[in-house]
Chain A
Amino acid sequence: MARSVIVDYDAGNLRSVQRACREVGLDAVISSDPQVVARAERVIFPGVGQAGSAMVTLRRTGLDVALRHAIDAGTPMLGICLGLQISLERSEEGDTACLGLMPGRVRRFALDDPRLKVPHMGWNEVRVVQPHPVLDGIEAGDEFYFVHAYYPDPATTAAVLAVADYEREFCCALGLGNYVGVQFHTEKSGRVGLDLIARFAAWDGRFQPPQETAC
């Protein structure tokens, strides 16, 4: 039976994501089986760690192909932190070729102010710049918990759903079709983070940026 799956590829602690899912009533299994991921009803793709070693594991296990199948099948997918980053085409972290589920690249923070620390770690405000069913309900002043040195830079601005500010604005949530990704740890962001997971759990996987449907 198809079910919600948290992708396990030896990249960090997935049980905190599972606990947060359980808290909002989403019963998600942790699996490293490509068959299970490819046939999932919805996919959560989290992760912390290093892009290069994550990609090695994904290729070795066949999870790279399974994730591609899931995206092509229209399965709602939520990337979190490293999971989001390696969903793009290429990362500056070790100049790594990534999955390419989403067009765009991952860049390292290059900040002018020497007092600003990298990784960007802590609570920061997330500002929605494009309505999306999964982000619907985030209000001005809502903060999420971040831990990262790299950030996503999607190929089209139409895919940028939300931004945060760290010396300058960066994309912290992006989405296209049945894929949505967040740079922050929504599972560790209190009520606002749990609400986001609950909305993902209810999402049918459909989204078209208004710019593309306008004409």
Chain B
Amino acid sequence: MLSKRLIACLDVREGKLAKSVRFVDTQDIGDPVEKAREYYADGLDELVFYDITASSDKRRILLEFVEAVAAEVFIPLSVGGGVRSVSDATDLRLAGAEKINVNSAAVQRPDLISECAHAIGAQNVVLSMDVLRVPVSDATPSGYEIVINGGRTRMGVDALAWAQRGEELGAGELVVNSIDADGTREGYELNLTRLIADAVRIPVIASGGAGVPEHLHAVLTEGHADAALVASMVHFGDYTCSGLKRYLHAQGVKMRMRW
């Protein structure tokens, strides 16, 4: 059977690894290529590279990073940040990204998902969604709303409906990122993750809030996630990829234990 995946997210800002707390006050914490190399050697299953500046003048920097990482890191590499068109996606693929993450631009123009799926294969298109907990309303019956632009703009779109729409449009995988939990280290939003994982037939990657290994265990079991995304936990040296995987394995979660 498939193993659950441990995925590390590297947020890159102007060439430096950054980590946000609730999407504000980012701080630089090192060289992303070095971190990628370290995690790969330590058993990481997949790497996500996110350019949080993602403005057009910075795209060259992102592509160079992807190339540098892809030359040394032989696990699936997923890249996102500012993907607005099929040509953005194919540029990143040529640079060495396996999967392309779309986020804000897809909310504004959902056809971007189907266009990318057609161009690079549905399995390579990851719909990354930033989700805010809100009161239940007609517009947001699930009690979760889609936000964009790094959490700054509320879209009035229900998160559950958007996940299902994304699957229909051809997304091969979902990243469900809780804005409420992001950077808090208090645990993933289990309710949100399970709600979405149970409603789609594509893999769900839980994101936002991991602080201790027990949080990963909870989201991969009770949360029904296929993969757990970590950032702060490993970036600041509190935990290692291999240590997290050993813990999960010991708890009975199927993990890839040889690398």
Mark A residues whose CB is within 8 Å of B: 12-13, 15-16, 19-20, 23, 48-49, 117-124, 139, 141-143, 145, 147, 165-166, 185, 187-194
Which of A48, A139, A166 is B121 in contact with, Cβ under 8 Å? Answer: A48
Closest beta carbon of chain B to A194's beta carbon, Å: 6
Pair A123/B45 contact, Cβ less than 8 Å: yes
Pair A122/B96 contact, Cβ less than 8 Å: no
Measured CB to CB, the nearest residue on chain A to B224 is A115
Question: A123-B2, A166-B2 given as contacts; is B74 within 8 A of A187 (CB)?
Answer: yes
* Residue of B45, B72, B76, B123 contacting most chain A CB atoms (<10 Å): B76
Mark B residues whose CB is within 8 Å of A: 1-3, 5, 40, 45, 70-72, 74-76, 93-94, 96, 98, 121, 123-124, 172-173, 201-203, 226-227, 256-259
Which of B40, B124, B203, B258 is A141 in contact with, Cβ under 8 Å? Answer: B258
Closest beta carbon of chain B to A18's beta carbon, Å: 10
6 nearest CB pairs, A to B:
A122-B2, A143-B256, A123-B256, A123-B3, A141-B258, A147-B123
Pair B74/A20 contact, Cβ less than 8 Å: yes
Pair A122/B3 contact, Cβ less than 8 Å: yes
B202 proximity list for chain A (CB < 8 A): 117
Beyond A121-B123, A141-B257, A166-B2: 8 further Cβ-contacts under 8 Å? A13-B96, A120-B2, A121-B2, A123-B5, A188-B75, A190-B74, A191-B74, A192-B259
Pair A19/B2 contact, Cβ less than 8 Å: no
**What is the interface of chain A mostly: helix, strand, loop, or mixed?**
mixed
Pair B74/A122 contact, Cβ less than 8 Å: no
User: What are 11 A-B pairs at a CB distance below 8 A?
Assistant: A15-B70, A16-B70, A117-B203, A121-B123, A122-B3, A122-B226, A141-B257, A143-B258, A145-B75, A165-B1, A185-B76
CA of A60 to CA of B115 in the docked complex: distance in angstroms?
A: 25
Question: A13-B94, A147-B123 given as contacts; is B259 within 8 A of A190 (CB)?
Answer: yes
Pair A121/B172 contact, Cβ less than 8 Å: yes
CA of A145 to CA of B257 in the docked complex: distance in angstroms?
A: 13
Pair A190/B3 contact, Cβ less than 8 Å: no
Pair B74/A143 contact, Cβ less than 8 Å: no
Pair B71/A188 contact, Cβ less than 8 Å: no
Measured CB to CB, the nearest residue on chain A to B1 is A165
Closest beta carbon of chain A to B74's beta carbon, Å: 6
CA of A185 to CA of B74 in the docked complex: distance in angstroms?
A: 10
Which of B76, B93, B258 is A139 in contact with, Cβ under 8 Å? Answer: B258
Closest beta carbon of chain B to A120's beta carbon, Å: 7
B76 proximity list for chain A (CB < 8 A): 145, 185, 188
